[in-house]
Chain A
Amino acid sequence: MTTVPTRALGHLDRLEAESIHILRETVAEVERPVMLYSIGKDSAAMLHLALKAFHPSKPPFPLLHVNTMWKFKEMIAFRDKTIKELGIEMLEYINPQGIDIKISPFDHGSKLHTQIMKTEALKQALDKWKFDAAFGGARRDEEKSRAKERVLSFRTAQHRWDPKNQRPEFWRLYNTRKAQGESLRIFPMSNWTEADVWDYIARENIPVVPLYFAKKRPVVSRDGALIMVDDDRMKLLPGEKIEHKMVRFRTLGCYPLTGGFESTATTLEDIIAEMRASRSSERQGRLIDHDGSSSMEQKKQEGYF
């Protein structure tokens, strides 16, 4: 048995302890928790925190991946490998409506795609399995309307978020009570920043999807963003041509909606150095956030995570 000497608690230790506390509080008080697993770095860190929180038990809840059918192939491969290695139950949900209409962000636009494949799909999945609490890896530093989100975000039976009717949170006391049909979104990493997540991934040696590291990838420059040609569903527009560039991604989502950028950061050290020097915010590469200045807030009210 290894024994770990005690050291002074730094901010990563404190953030970790807080997240673990939130995970345990929820599991102890709700009926059917689930962890939203979106395969990205925040999900990777959150999953790692869950392994820590319940050790030596396994996390006492399944993971849920709401699949849009447009994720990067490398993300799905990484997901399957992670689940297999950890021996954790994972549920996958795809909105059947999206399959019926052969949903495509290229043909239907990012707004409708997100609405059907993410917002509606999540609600359907939570209803299908009757989950009353869903953990998400969202952080308050990501976006302005997230900055006011509580750790425990209360949702009506229609999954709506009312920013003016959120429960006050004091000390470490969370009120998880809810009526039949109502549910909670729980953000154990509310107080983490992007820099904290990368520092933690490095410190804890947490595996992440290789797309975060720069590599020669086939991309097309479209509307000022570098979109990776991940499969043959991506049709080139007149004048576009596929180029092979050293690119990486700062956030991951559906490949047609995720802009990459040119980078030479091939190691974690490079990534962290690049991020520290960066003069742009994290969600800049996310095309869905820019539908309007308050668009994230609106999506959240409609039930988006």
Chain B
Amino acid sequence: MPNALAAHAPHPGSSKLVITDKPLLRFITCGSVDDGKSTLIGRLLFDADLAPDDLIAALEIDSKKHGTQGEALDFALLVDGLAAEREQGITIDVAYRYFATEKRKFIVADTPGHEQYTRNMAVGASTADLAILLVDARKGILPQTRRHSVITSMFGVRHVVVAVNKMDLVSYSEEVFHKIEADFRDFAKNLRFTSIYVAPLVAKDGDNLVKKSAHMDWHKGPPLLGYLETVAIEDSTQIAPFRFPVQWVNRPNLDFRGFSGLISGGNIRPDDIIRILPAGRDTRVTRIVTYDGDLESGVSGQSVTLTLTEEIDISRGDLLCSPVSPAKVGDRLEAKILWLVRESLIPGKSYLLKIGTKITPAHILSVDAHIEIETGLADPLPSGAALNFNEMGEAKLALETAVACDPFSENRETGGFILIDRITNETVAVGMVRAIANSSGRATPALTDLSYASMEGVPVASHAESLAGHNRKMASFTLTTALLTTTLAYVFVKETTLALEIGLSQTLALSGLFYLHEKLWHAPAGQSDQPQKETIIDGGGL
């Protein structure tokens, strides 16, 4: 399809221009109210020469009006944005800051230290690669430090920097610093951090932020910015199995039907076989379509549109997966949840659950344990227990329709969900899947299923045809299974009679399961809660 914009003459001078696409590091800063977190970020921006002159001029005025540093510049005011929080002198929400150095591009989520705003920190942590925990050198590891560590770890952050601030107030003492480092490392043993760096700082003076501190030559590690520029951050979703939550069915005309989404795990190439969940059918990718042309391969993090060999009925909310390691499918979830609103969690009440691009009604069956945020440990609760504002717990959920997802520990894009109140429309909880099960006890569809497909949008095949297709499929499945299992058994036992026996029994068992699976999964659909938005979209302009 021709596109008008690309046909434009190049911008003058653009041919000489080198656009350097840099690696991106997202981090969050957490600390108690007075640890100097906003000062640290403000100072980092200032020292890295990134705060514009007119902002500095405004800062001088603001420092006199609202500042807490006497005549000196109050760097925290560079960062604190809203009028209400200026008056209170604390950050009350998540604020995002952006800066870049020669090596990296940074997105900073400045999250509040105030205890009642746990949810904001969870928001910041959910998209962060790394967390900076601010610690006051005079106070050491506080309950808040532990809460912040537990929350960031739980929300999937794997790298942490402990910034021991206000070292000037403990006479730049190496001993004090080492004690704090040892305390933290001991506490963090049970958390899921893969790297920990502890750095001594004086944020307001810029000591050890951009340049090494003259007062603390005993510290051998790099200054904070140098560390952030070089710390190795793996993108765990890139090595995960292929995952693609379908966002939107792309159907510009009768000749094109694609499925648009963002690759949330692994990679994909044309000709790869993919499994459509929860339906459990397999098909093959034909093209990876983008505005810039088809891709040879797509990787996790890219927004693309896939076309498939067969006209299979796929809609928003479906998850396309690697058939080798597919996601789990089930209508029962065990999850850790954080309750976000003042009205307590009510077991039995119906909410909407959104996971990936799928929305389904769900209710909480039980809250089984309360998670102590300072330790991360779970205390079992009596049945009927509730969960209050800002509390975390382990819960079981029942979903109205089965969804495809992964344990959060394996993929945070396909294992995290939110719960929405159906009346107030508020986001009442955020959750992380621990296990997926099925109410009926039937197995997750895991069998390869590469034959016919129903076509959406064209008259459905007659019952007889579909039955014939079904029988053909059954026969081909049985034959394939028999051959495969027998061969496999032969490889293992090296004895023909025994191998045939194993093959036969396996084939019978699997065919039985397959028959059941077909019966169950090909029952008429249509109870999906998701409105069919395609019809609206296909209507074109408004």
Taking Cβ atoms with an 8 Å cutoff, the residues of A that contact B are 1-6, 9-14, 16-17, 20-21, 24-25, 27-29, 31-32, 34, 48, 51-58, 60-62, 85-87, 89, 129, 131, 140-141, 144-145, 147-148, 163-164, 166-173, 175, 177-179, 190-191, 193, 195, 199, 201-203, 205-207, 213, 266-270, 272, 278-281, 284, 293-294, 297
Q: How many residues of B contact A (CB 8 A)?
A: 96
Distance, CA A17 to CA B237, complexed state (A): 15
Flag if A55 contacts B301 (CB, 8 Å): no
Flag if A172 contacts B413 (CB, 8 Å): yes
Can you show 12 pairs from A to B with CB atoms below 8 A apart?
Answer: A9-B302, A24-B248, A52-B291, A56-B289, A173-B416, A173-B418, A175-B426, A177-B420, A201-B11, A205-B14, A268-B12, A293-B62
Flag if B54 contacts A179 (CB, 8 Å): no
Distance, CA A3 to CA B24, complexed state (A): 26
Flag if A172 contacts B262 (CB, 8 Å): yes
CB-defined interface of B80-116 with A at 8 Å, one 1/0 digit per residue? Answer: 1111101000001111111010000101000000000
Flag if B430 contacts A170 (CB, 8 Å): yes
Flag if B22 contacts A11 (CB, 8 Å): yes
User: Given the complex, which residues of B lie within 8 Å of A207, measured CB to CB?
Assistant: 5, 8
CB-defined interface of B244-275 with A at 8 Å, one 1/0 digit per residue? Answer: 00011011100010101110000000000000
Flag if A12 contacts B19 (CB, 8 Å): yes
* CB-contacts of B302-352 with A (<8 A): 302-303, 305, 316, 340, 352
Known: A3-B293, A10-B23, A145-B82. A53 touches B302 (CB 8 A): no
Flag if B250 contacts A54 (CB, 8 Å): yes
Flag if A61 contacts B542 (CB, 8 Å): yes
14 further A-B contacts with Cβ under 8 Å, apart from A55-B3, A86-B5, A269-B17, are A4-B293, A4-B296, A5-B296, A9-B299, A31-B536, A51-B3, A54-B248, A62-B541, A148-B94, A172-B262, A179-B425, A191-B96, A202-B11, A281-B55
Which residue of chain B has the shortest Cβ distance to A131 in the bound complex? B542
Taking Cβ atoms with an 8 Å cutoff, the residues of B that contact A are 1, 3-6, 8, 10-14, 16-17, 19-24, 52-55, 58, 61-62, 80-84, 86, 92-98, 100, 105, 107, 119-120, 122-123, 126-127, 155, 247-248, 250-252, 256, 258, 260-262, 289-299, 301-303, 305, 316, 340, 352, 354-355, 357, 412-413, 416-418, 420, 425-427, 430, 533, 536-537, 540-542
Please give me the 7 A-B residue pairs with the lowest Cβ-Cβ distance, nearest first. A10-B21, A267-B13, A144-B81, A2-B293, A20-B303, A281-B52, A269-B13
Flag if B418 contacts A175 (CB, 8 Å): yes
> Which one of B155, B258, B427 contacts A167 once the chains associate, using CB atoms below 8 Å?
B427
User: Given the complex, which residues of B lie within 8 Å of A279, measured CB to CB?
Assistant: 52-53
Known: A54-B250, A56-B1. A269 touches B262 (CB 8 A): no
Flag if B302 contacts A171 (CB, 8 Å): no
User: Given the complex, which residues of A lie within 8 Å of B83, measured CB to CB?
Assistant: 293-294, 297
Distance, CA A53 to CA B258, complexed state (A): 12
Known: A171-B416, A205-B14. A293 touches B58 (CB 8 A): yes
Flag if B126 contacts A170 (CB, 8 Å): yes
